[in-house]
Amino acid sequence: MTQIVLGAAVGHATAKKTLGRKAALWGAVFGTLPDLDVFYSYGDPVSDFTFHRSATHSLVLMSIAAPVIAALISYWRTRLRKESFQEVFWPWLRLIFLCLTTHALLDAFTVYGTQLLWPITDYPFAIGSIFIIDPLYTIPLLIGLLITLIRQPNTSFSRSANAIGMVLSSAYLLWSVIAQSWVGNSLRSTLQQEHIAYDKTLITPAPFTTFLWRVVAINEHSYYDGYRSIFDDRTNIQLKRFSRNTHLASELPDNWYRNRLDWFSKGFNKYWLHNSQVVMSDLRMGMEPSYVFTFAIGKVSMTDQQLPEERQILPPIQVQQDRDMTLLNSVWRRIWDEQVNMHDMTKTECVDKLTSC
């Protein structure tokens, strides 16, 4: 939904003089085009997960594809309507290029990972300052676009409404980066005061908001999970420790799937057992203990004493975890009340070496 609205707003802003209201429609089309790769299977769940937002979200390839597509459209229109190639080409080039690139750049503000410079580098850029769906980003865009499309086009307010919507949404995106930095400083201060050893930190917004933030500090064997609202009075963040169970992975034979997931998640992951399967969860997306991207990557055969007898790799299977929608209500309450303990809704800490989490 967000990418459709963004594409429509950008398309109308860049090509309304040439295409009129159809500019919004074409903007919506090209604004969603990069995500069509979700309908293509790369052969296994891990590849589908880690190759999404790669070539189709590359600014390099977009810079090549946009003029080619614009030229083809312009050639077709000049043949059918006898229009000037130059007059048609440049508005279409602006629309296509800006709708494609704003899609990729907005995705880079989420925590998933977007390979903006593929094939130069496959590094997944992820600022992680905004949730994949945030009404406060989308609504100004939508209202501004609707006013522009519905009201009489010759009024000054109608002409500027779409631009105002884009400015407000961009300002909200900037706010998300500022809030993320502020929460990050609070997290590092907490870690220092509590003498917690960590290798790296993760600061991401809770679902649908930038008023509540989830923080993770991770080291080789553990991760610390907590929440910080911008309205909290206390400066320190209450953190809870969880085991990563990395021994489960280290004793598996080396394999591409595990290494690929570890690379793509940037090391923010944990392992656990599920029906004798070694499962990896990406800690960046979800809320403890339910994570969106969870994969079974190995199998453990047990002896009668419930000790590991044999470990082997498996073709990866994406594990579907139950989604506790009541957590969304807890998110809303936690924004305003720092006494709400988000971890009360989670399972107990995973510390045993061979137990499920």
pLDDT class for 253, splitting at 50, 70, 90? Answer: confident
pLDDT class for 356, splitting at 50, 70, 90? Answer: very low
Those residues whose C-beta lies under 8 Å from the C-beta of residue 174, and which sit 6 or more positions away, are none
Tell which wins on pLDDT, 25 or 344: 25
Residue pair 161/206 in contact by the 8 Å Cβ criterion: no
Q: Average pLDDT in the 304-313 region?
A: 45
CA contacts within 13 A on the Cβ side of 287: 24
Q: What is the mean pLDDT of the chain?
A: 89
Residue 302 has a pLDDT of 57
Least confident of 13-27, 102-116, 199-213: 13-27
Q: State yes or no: pLDDT of 310 exceeds 60.
A: no
Q: Average pLDDT in the 282-287 region?
A: 94
Q: Average pLDDT in the 280-289 region?
A: 92
Q: Average pLDDT in the 19-42 region?
A: 94
Residue 321 has a pLDDT of 60
Residue 351 has a pLDDT of 36
- Reference 334, options 243, 190, 208; nearest CA is 208
Q: Average pLDDT in the 252-270 region?
A: 92
Instruction: Report how many helices (DSSP H) and strands (DSSP E) the chain contains, helices first.
Output: 10, 10
Nearest-5° Cα angle at 291, 297 to 114: 85
pLDDT class for 288, splitting at 50, 70, 90? Answer: confident
Q: State yes or no: pLDDT of 348 exceeds 50.
A: no
Tell which wins on pLDDT, 258 or 28: 28
Residue pair 146/96 in contact by the 8 Å Cβ criterion: no
Q: State the CB neighbour count (10 A cutoff) for residue 93.
A: 20
Classify 311 as helix, strand or coil.
Answer: strand
CA distance linking residue 219 with residue 283, whole number of Å: 13
- Highest mean pLDDT among 7-16, 247-256, 290-299 belongs to 7-16
Q: State yes or no: pLDDT of 353 exceeds 50.
A: no
Residue 139 has a pLDDT of 98
**Distance spanning both ends of the chain, measured CA to CA:** 34
Hunting for tokens 């880079």 — which residue is that? 108
Residue pair 122/114 in contact by the 8 Å Cβ criterion: no
Least confident of 23-27, 82-86, 91-95, 144-148: 82-86
Single-letter code of the amino acid located at 33: L
Element (H, E) at 257: helix 256-264
Residue 306 has a pLDDT of 44
CA distance linking residue 176 with residue 132, whole number of Å: 13
Q: For the purposes of burial, counting CB atoms within 10 Å of the CB of 57, is it exposed (0-12), middle (13-18) or buried (19 or more)?
A: buried
CA of 105: how far to CAs of 28, 34, 112, 154, 354, in Å?
Answer: 16, 12, 12, 32, 41
Residue 309 has a pLDDT of 44
Q: State yes or no: pLDDT of 336 exceeds 80.
A: yes
Q: Average pLDDT in the 48-57 region?
A: 96
Q: State yes or no: pLDDT of 332 exceeds 70.
A: yes
pLDDT class for 153, splitting at 50, 70, 90? Answer: low
